[in-house]
Structure 1
Amino acid sequence: MPTLPRPPRPFLVAVLVALLCSCAGPGSAPAAAPAPGPPSTPTVAPGTPVPPEPSPAVPTASARPGTFPLPPGATVVIDPGHNGRNGPGSGIDHPVPDGRGGTKPCNTTGASTADGYPEHAFTWAVSGLLADRLRARGYRVVLTRDSDDGVGPCVDVRGAAGARAGAAAVISVHADGGATSGHGFHVLYSSPPLNPAQRGPARTLADAAVASMRGAGFTPATYIGRGGLDARDDIAGLNLATVPSVLVECANLRNPADAALVRSPQGRQRLADALAAVFA
């Protein structure tokens, strides 16, 4: 008959009990952590592209409200609107490209106050004061005309002036001739944009000009635009610009209060200072 297995010997039972008691269980002390070794170094498999270091943050074009920062020594083009001899027989009515497939007159005579103070004289005076302010701060300034006793230049030439001068920005100085009940300034920019400079930087420059004018105490136009901004597709000088460019209608010459402002030397200086502060 088959034999039964022999019962385990006492010493084997004791060994089994000791092994069971040594296993971790509820209430038992945790095993000691292994001694720390040197930190591991991540490895990259051969041929795996290494991601570049992140680039430092680039400040926006307008780091502070009301400004359009420029590098030291940057060139600014100032475009004094119209000219002293623009008028009948001057040849300013011939068509030139408008930047959107159409044409515009080469130039116009501009507006004037009720008592005859002309826009061209106002823009020339303010542009000279603005140029003085910017040159004193180390910027290079280029004007689109060198006197107030000439004709033109045409709006397409003015639109190309920024690129030709290697400018960082262009400000075209004007004054409007709206209804007498309306007053205040407005800043024009090209919209819809036609190139990268118009797509973002020109709008940033326009916002900075509005903020600076408002900060100087001037009122946004009550009769045109919105909050001092005026998006336009019909201004050839802005459409043809390939650097950040805006046109500032500083006041409405047909409004009595605005007319008094632009005729005043103190008013013209205030306007020039506000435009210069765009680049502070």
Structure 2
Amino acid sequence: MSTPTTARTPYVIGLKRGWIEFKHSVMSTDIIGFLFPTLIAVIVILFLRDVDVEGAPVSLGSMSLPSLLGMNLVFGGLAGLAGQIITEREDGTMLRAKSIPGGMTSYVMGASVSSSIFISFSIALILIPGVMLFPGVSFASPTSWLLVVLVTVFSLAATMPIGVVLGSMFTNPRLMGLVMFPIMGMTAISGIFYPITALPGWLQGIAQVFPMYWAGLGMRSALLPDSMAAVEIGGSWRHLETFGVLGIWALIGLVLAPILLRRMVRKESGSAVAERQERSAQRGGPR
């Protein structure tokens, strides 16, 4: 009877750790740093509430709000976990987790739970006032609730393992720019702030490879009138394609993340951490 209990322990610890990390983030300045760019984006699209899009029954601002939620899901899932792993690898947190039986399992579980709650919390903070401020954005029907939940779950499942992969590949927090630039590129071509059908066909094809477009499309399908599908590719919300592509990315991440994470953990040692901290101090210069 002790074996199942022992096997469950890292997951229980991970759940508790994730909840503690989330509460710490909410009480600290972390939430301000995460929400500030999004709040700026919301203010910008408020000025687009009266900007019409040809053939669309709602304004450009109302069209952009659900897309912004999809962007936050992908951005948080990729950059959030990647940044945490890179930073905590350098400061020795990862090494301490490695030294405890089941420590890496509880560490990854805790980071994933914390990020998931944090991202969902930020989505709610934007969505609740957004429904009142943007005409045409509706969250009233059971279908809307179900789609928002499903898109959130699938988007996080598609992006968080990839965030672990990216975090396992870099050792220097300053290299996060290498993670951010591709995400910004995905945002630019994924129809987040303007209908993707306005882009050249080859860019539309590239955008549809990545989760950003599908997360935004899924949120638009949940929160906008059905008639808005007319301005989308193929004139349809394409729910099957949405969950199919996000599911494929989730499978890719779940295959790659354990392999790269194990390889990274094997390389962790006290001397490696000390060397990275010394390089970091040298980059900071004399005080």
Question: TM-score of the superposition, structure 1-length normalised?
Answer: 0.24
User: Per chain length, whose mean CA-contact separation is higher, i.e. which structure has more relative contact order (CA < 8 Å, sep 6+)?
Assistant: 2
Question: TM-score of the superposition, structure 2-length normalised?
Answer: 0.23
Structure number with higher strand proportion:
1
